[in-house]
A = this chain, B = another copy of it.
């Protein structure tokens, strides 16, 4: 059996997502990435641009999970409050990070608007994490404790995460699916029995009323291949009359 997977939480900071002005793209993207990397995502929160809310949420996530990713609220305008919120969470000050300031001034030259200095702010004690190529290699990700602070603009969010993602790679989970013709109520005792017998296998049951060929999708997931195979075989035996082969 492999080491337990790293756990993670995602905090999307954005009034614009909650109000429906823009659809979330970053949590959706990151859920898929974390699955592929073998990181166990435990919670997603979409919260407003309010420092106290940001502080409460990132502190709680930072304590509970190995990795925290924030999306949004970093930029030069009045509604960019993520750095302030994270600093507040841990009683840290906000400082202008000298390396980031130099990158900014090199890029903008004399014409840099004063407000852009906010892009060099970090909670005191943050680290800079480099990775990727192009601008991602020049412009690092700010990490504070176990919190990776990423921008809300989807294109930048993806580029910055792509640059650093290999550091998070763990063992991929093993998975299996069984498609069944029975109603969930009929399957429930068999699922519960196998779930109890194989505690290291997560078994989920999802009815799909719009399908004609099957009525329920059962998923099995584990970091233990032998346990997964055992649970899958046990379920197939118990439910053999109801299995649909989608070929």
Contacts and interface: CB of A to CB of B under 8 A. Distances in A.
A134 interface: no
Given A78-B191, A115-B185, A188-B76, A20 B31 contact: yes
B43 A18 contact: yes
A184 B47 contact: no
A127 B75 CA distance: 46
A132 interface: no
B20 A209 contact: no
Given A46-B44, A210-B155, A113 B77 contact: no
A20 B32 contact: yes
Nearest to A113: B185
Interface stretch (A161-169, A197-205, A228-236): A197-205
A6 to B, nearest CB: 14
Nearest to A12: B44
A204 B21 CA distance: 10
Interface in A183-216: 183-189, 191-192, 195, 202-210
A116 interface: yes
A34 interface: yes
Interface string A1-39: 000000000000001111111111001100110110000
Given A43-B48, A44-B45, A153-B209, A115 B188 contact: yes
B184 A75 contact: yes
A62 interface: no
Interface of A: 15-24, 27-28, 31-32, 34-35, 40-49, 53, 75-79, 112-116, 118-119, 152-153, 155-156, 173, 175, 183-189, 191-192, 195, 202-210, 219, 221
Closest 4 CB pairs of A and B: A115-B188, A113-B185, A20-B35, A116-B185
